[in-house]
């Protein structure tokens, strides 16, 4: 039972998430011989204010 966890900033549409889960599932089937009925994909959306990099909150960053 593989579990793939993706942590990312909030803001993607439901359609984007559907496509991402499909693409990850397809990749795991092709490259890791995972069975789709046993594969879990977990999307963890993190608000930018709860994520820091190099000592700066994501909500305070000006770079992409």
What residues act catalytically?
2
Token pair 């039972």 is found at: 1
58: burial class by Cβ within 10 Å (0-12, 13-18, 19+)?
middle
Q: Taken in order 13, 28, 3, 38, is the CA torsion positive or negative?
A: positive
State residue 63's pLDDT score: 86
| Residue range 2-28, pLDDT digits in tens | 999 999 999 999 999 999 999 999 999
Distance of CA 32 to the CA centre of its chain: 18
pLDDT for 33-57, tens place per residue?
Answer: 999 999 999 999 999 999 999 999 9
DSSP 54: T
Which pTM does this prediction carry? 0.87
């Amino acid at each position: 039972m593989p579990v793939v966890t993706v942590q990312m900033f909030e803001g993607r549409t439901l359609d984007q998430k559907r496509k991402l889960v499909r693409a990850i599932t397809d990749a795991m089937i092709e490259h890791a011989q995972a069975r789709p009925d046993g594969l879990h994909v977990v999307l963890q959306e993190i608000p930018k204010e709860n994520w820091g990099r190099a000592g700066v909150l994501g909500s305070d960053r000006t770079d992409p």
